[in-house]
Amino acid sequence: MTGLAELMDYEDVLSTFEPVLGLEVHTELSTRTKMFCGCSTVFGAEQNTQVCPTCLGLPGALPVVNAGAIESAIRIGLALNCEIAGWCRFARKNYFYPDMPKNFQTSQYDEPIAYNGHLDVELDDGSVFRVEIERAHMEEDTGKSLHVGGSTGRIHGAEYSLLDYNRAGVPLIEIVTKPIVGAGARAPEIARTYVTALRDLLRALDVSDVRMDQGSLRCDANVSLMPIGAGEFGTRTETKNVNSLRSVERAVRYEMCRQGALLAGGSRIVQETRHYDESTQTTLAGRTKETAEDYRYFPEPDLVPIAPAKDWVAQLRETLPELPWERRRRVREDWGLSDAEMRDLLNIGAIDLIASTVDAGAGSAEARSWWVSYLAQKANTAGVELADLPITPVQVARVIQLVTDGELTTTLARQVVDGILAGEGEPDQVVAARSLKVVSDDSALIAAVETAMAEAPGVVAKIRDGKTAAVGAIVGAVMKATRGQADPQRVRELIIERCQ
Amino acid sequence: MSSPTDLTRMTAADLAARIQAKEVSSVEVTQAHLDRIAKVDDRVRAFLHVSADRALSAARAVDEDVAAGRAPASPLAGVPLALKDVVVTEGVPTTVGSRMLENWIPPYDATITRRLLEAGIVILGKTNMDEFAMGSSTENSYYGPSHNPWDLDRVPGGSGGGSSAALAAFESPLAIGTDTGGSIRQPGSVTGTVGVKPTYGGVSRYGLVAFSSSLDQAGPCARTVLDAALLHEVIAGHDVLDATSIDEPVPPVVAAARAGATGDLRGLRIGVVSDLAGGDGYQPGVLASFERAVATLRELGAEVVEVACPHFRYGLPAYYLIAPSECSSNLARFDAMRYGIRVGDSNGASAEDVMSATREAGFGPEVKRRIMIGTYALSSGYYDAYYGQAQKVRTLIKRDFDTAFGTLDVLVSPTTPTTAFRLGERTGNPMSMYLADLCTIPASLAGIPAMSVPSGLASDDGLPVGLQIMAPALADERMYRVAAAYEVARNAAEGGPQIDRIPELEA
Amino acid sequence: MPNISRDEVAHLARLARLAVTEDELTTFAGQLDVILQSVATVGEVAADDIPPTTHAVPLVNVFRPDVVRPGLTQQQALSGAPSAEDGRFRVPRILGEM
Ligand SMILES: [Mg+2]
Ligand SMILES: [Zn+2]
């Protein structure tokens, strides 16, 4: 176990070194089936039930490329302003690891499907930084291992491991940046905002669930330092296991400070893979290899080349949606937001969600209100990004519609949202299953109104004295007694009738 | 002595016709072959596994169809077949001749297996082979070698020696082989049987335990050209589960075999590949047989010319780079984690320890050699000089063929430089074993169809020799036409099928 | 070009996860040397401007539709496993990056 590394003060790092970043983002595509077989990709199925001879690597089984994955890969490439290869292939990356059934990963090596692009990233202060994209290539995911025994449930010290191959073979797109130079103090922020922008883009393309918490979006951060003015990059480390946007920023910053301390102390940086530890917010060295990696890449002989027709690529270009930053610009103007309001919405990642909710038919005020208050609270409590809540803009828009139509009260609507978040299904299913209906039938309400009035004679007296604002207290009590199902307008009328 | 009614001596076409005519039942045919296996296989050792119950129940199903007057599922319905143990069979052990998969029972069927079953063909069992199809003698089988029914002290060829021995020993009228560098044709040649490697992509590879993906091709084995053609049409055709499978109609090989049997090759231009017809390592008896065969083709009306294919001599080295490279990757999956044997799992051994110990114990020496050669050839720094260069040689060999086929319809050569060698004769020297594939490798590298048809017995040792016929990609029917014509002529000249001259095993 | 040493064979064996014995190292070193000398003759052909061939019959764009196909049951998947537990494949402890 490595002890805690010495860290250099961040300002000192910047006064001596220029950070160089390289970001590799893996995203699982939300195709129905895996990259090379017809197994389902749905998350959370019982272990080893979404497997077949191909993705289990059984002797004799063969891969066949999923057309849907190619389509998604091309659309991603186009949205990242990449060139799309006229001809490319898969290759085998050979290394042994128990979570990889064939002991090679079918990936793309020197012939990626998309290359030479860029992504313009909006930083926290609204300025724009262009990140150059080296390539976006297709590959397949590995299975998942559960480490048993030992104290931590981690790989180190485990007695044995249990493998589930449901995820093995799920399509991945790996997006690799060119070296990001010149970021200076903003390197950590650029890393975070780049991954955020990429996530928003992938979501807008509807090609991935982009859930960092579930691993459908993963970031590896390559960091190195070079003395200011030096022409040559320093030795880099690659930090894996960075599971949230905040962690991306912290991991980069931590590595800068760790490497700065080492370099300043006259040590050399070891080129190695490190793992981000969420609990300590540090990076830890992986097991060093006694021999250099030699993946023995060669063209995958079980597959034939991919040569996307120009027409097809042109058609796919037509399917590109309004891109997140374009939409943001539009929304800001449409809603007349101030800089501060815009930044607040951006900070919690609500802009796209609100815009999508509006696109799905909701009013912009209601849409904003739901996402920035009730849902933002829910995300905060759950410790996830707003966008990672298991509710879609379309569902929120439906809930708003039900309120507008008078089918639900705000209180009931919140219960519907709770139900959706709990996985109980679509808004209308939750309404039905929980029997959530506004009660405006007098016979059902009168008893509740009279009970509430009897329990609060003081309030009733005030109302009779003409202080009509006090009605709210009784209404509140009735709403509580009816678990929110009463129609508050009718309740108010019934109370005032009885006080006259 | 065999009697004229001995069911094990008949051709597949004959058996199928008799079953449909209700002269004999498929159960009787199947039982006759099971009895034959019980009688001789302790000496031939063609089979690793006999599935008598499954075979008989498949036979009964065909008999029920016949009784009910239903149309046969295929022209070979009810006929028994021996399946090379490289083909995956659900519920039936599949070992690939390796200790690694001892007792492995697959949970799925290869496409070939499915097509055979759907055709009403009766699978008798799984045949012996060199481990992972690497070898030319079956001596690399973990389960011991098969023996050549012509001389039990000799090898039946390899890797598909179990399938060829089963045919020559009358244990089965049909067999399936797989050919990567000659593993169907060379065993066919040394056992006096017919072996066909179709165009690469003509038969699905889904469910063939992979050796070298860009070369592996399954094909039919039989005692006659027509039987091979009938089986070819059953197993061939596009398969969506194999991305390298060709989406084109199956070449009309049965019609070609029937047409060829009329014995007329007029108008056909045949090239004798001078680079594969003599030189170091060719047995005089083989060359003499080949010359007689070429003379026969002329007599049948074909125009025969010599053709040079200057890059063929690089075929063997290119093959022994490409095949090991691909195998080093294909065989990585045998790691003791998900299936197969597991060795050394004790006392805190790591997964890596167990993988290495299992692979050490589970693979034989030839497999290990090839894995290491392939690992070497793909290593960074060596890739261009080895694997990369070998793939370029492949282009040159393909161009040699393209040039030749520009003016010629088919090419011919001996199938293998020598007749069957003695067990143990080449096991100590891997290079000498590799030479057995000298003539078959060029067609493998080019992916073109090629077959071996018996061409008499060598004058020097009295053992079978094979004539190799090669055709352009997707023109498999051309070689069947030539083979069938030649078969008829040779049978006529020698007073009956060559296989009838095999010594009796019943002693 | 080749002249393969025992150490190189040991390195290859490690890459290929083969726990070869000392005796094998010696035997294999000799055999691999002979084989590699022989196959190195592919280098004699001038082929700088020759494209590589990977498949005999060139095909491109062989795809399958993004449609779910039935696979194996958990029981079938685990049927050949040397060891299984709780619906998963049980494997010896994994030493981080291998
Ligand atoms: Mg990758
Ligand atoms: Zn699968």
Average pLDDT of chain A is 91
How far is Cα A298 from Cα A311, in angstroms, rounded to an integer?
A: 30
Strand ordering across the sheet containing A273-277: A83-84, A114-122, A128-140, A171-177, A17-28, A217-227, A237-242, A273-277, A282-285
Asked if A174 contacts A24 with a C-beta cutoff of 8 angstroms, the reply is yes
Tens-digit pLDDT profile for residues B395-451: 999 999 999 999 999 999 999 999 999 999 999 888 888 889 999 999 999 999 999
Cβ neighbours for B360, distance < 8 A, ≥ 6 positions apart = B343, B368, C18, C19, C20, C21
The Cα of A306 is separated from the nearest Cα of chain C by a number of Å equal to 5
pLDDT on residue A40: 98
Asked if B131 contacts B432 with a C-beta cutoff of 8 angstroms, the reply is no
pLDDT on residue A420: 93
The Cα of A44 is separated from the nearest Cα of chain B by a number of Å equal to 21
Mutation pick from C61, C73, C76 vs chain A, by most beta carbons of A within 10 Å, is: C61
Tens-digit pLDDT profile for residues B273-314: 999 988 888 999 999 999 999 999 999 999 999 999 999 999
Asked if A326 contacts A336 with a C-beta cutoff of 8 angstroms, the reply is no
- Residue A65 Cα to ligand 2 middle (Å): 12
Among residues A382, A381, A380, A412, which one has the least CA distance to residue A485?
A: A412
Residue type, A384: V
- List the alpha helices (DSSP H) in A35-153: 67-79
Q: Which tokens is B124 given? A: 């008798």
For the CA of A173, the nearest ligand: 1
How far is Cα B353 from Cα A120, in angstroms, rounded to an integer?
A: 48
The Cα of C98 is separated from the nearest Cα of chain B by a number of Å equal to 7
ipTM of the predicted structure? 0.97
How far is Cα B187 from Cα B440, in angstroms, rounded to an integer?
A: 11
The DSSP symbol for B333 reads G
pLDDT on residue A465: 85
Among residues B74, B85, B79, B81, which one has the least CA distance to residue B118?
A: B74
pLDDT on residue B192: 98
The Cα of A98 is separated from the nearest Cα of chain C by a number of Å equal to 8
Q: Residue A266: what are its φ and ψ, rounded to 5°?
A: 85, 5
Residues lying with their CB under 5 A of ligand 1, a single-atom ion: A 174
DSSP β-bridge partners for residue A284: A275
Q: Which chains sit next to B, with 3 or more Cβ pairs under 8 A? A: A, C
Q: Which chain C residue has its CA at the smallest distance from B315's CA?
A: C42
- Residue B25 Cα to ligand 2 middle (Å): 41
Chains B, C: CB pairs < 8 Å: 190
Residues lying with their CB under 5 A of ligand 2, a single-atom ion: A 37, 39, 52, 54-55
> Is residue C54 very low, low, confident or very high in pLDDT (cuts 50, 70, 90)?
confident
Q: Once rounded to an integer, what is the mean pLDDT over residues C46-64? A: 90
> CA of A61: how far to CAs of A53, B87, B354, in Å?
6, 11, 24
C50 touches chain B (CB under 8 A): yes
Q: Which of A62, A98, A296 is opposite residue B242, by nearest beta carbon?
A: A62
Helix-helix angle A393-404:A351-359, to 10 degrees:
60
Task: State the pTM of this model.
Answer: 0.90
pLDDT on residue B1: 40
Q: Which of A60, A161, A298 is opposite residue B210, by nearest beta carbon?
A: A60
Q: Three-state SS across chain C?
A: CCCCCHHHHHHHHHHCCCCCCHHHHHHHHHHHHHHHHHHHHHHHCCCCCCCCCCCCCCCCCCEECCCCCCCECHHHHHCCCCCEECCEEEEECCCCCC
Asked if B214 contacts B271 with a C-beta cutoff of 8 angstroms, the reply is no
Among residues B430, B377, B437, B308, which one has the least CA distance to residue C42?
A: B377
Active site residues of B: 84, 159, 183
For the CA of C72, the nearest ligand: 2
Among residues B381, B338, B336, which one has the least CA distance to residue B360?
A: B336
How far is Cα B175 from Cα B187, in angstroms, rounded to an integer?
A: 12
Average pLDDT of chain C is 92
Residue type, A197: A
Q: Which chain A residue has its CA at the smallest distance from C69's CA?
A: A38
Asked if A48 contacts A165 with a C-beta cutoff of 8 angstroms, the reply is yes
**pLDDT in tens for each of the 507 residues of chain B?**
445 579 999 999 999 999 999 999 999 999 999 999 999 999 999 999 999 999 999 999 999 999 999 999 999 999 999 999 999 999 999 999 999 999 999 999 999 999 999 999 999 999 999 999 999 999 999 999 999 999 999 999 999 999 999 999 999 999 999 999 999 999 999 999 999 999 999 999 999 999 999 999 999 999 999 999 999 999 999 999 999 999 999 999 999 999 999 999 999 999 999 999 888 889 999 999 999 999 999 999 999 999 999 999 999 999 999 999 999 999 999 999 999 999 999 888 999 999 999 999 999 999 999 999 999 999 988 999 999 999 999 999 999 999 999 999 999 999 999 999 999 999 988 888 888 999 999 999 999 999 999 999 999 999 999 999 999 999 999 999 999 999 999 999 999 999 999 999 875
H or E segment to which residue A93 belongs: strand A91-94
- Residue B361 Cα to ligand 2 middle (Å): 29
C25 touches chain B (CB under 8 A): no
pLDDT on residue A286: 76
Sites in chain A below the pLDDT cut of 50:
1-2
pLDDT on residue A486: 83
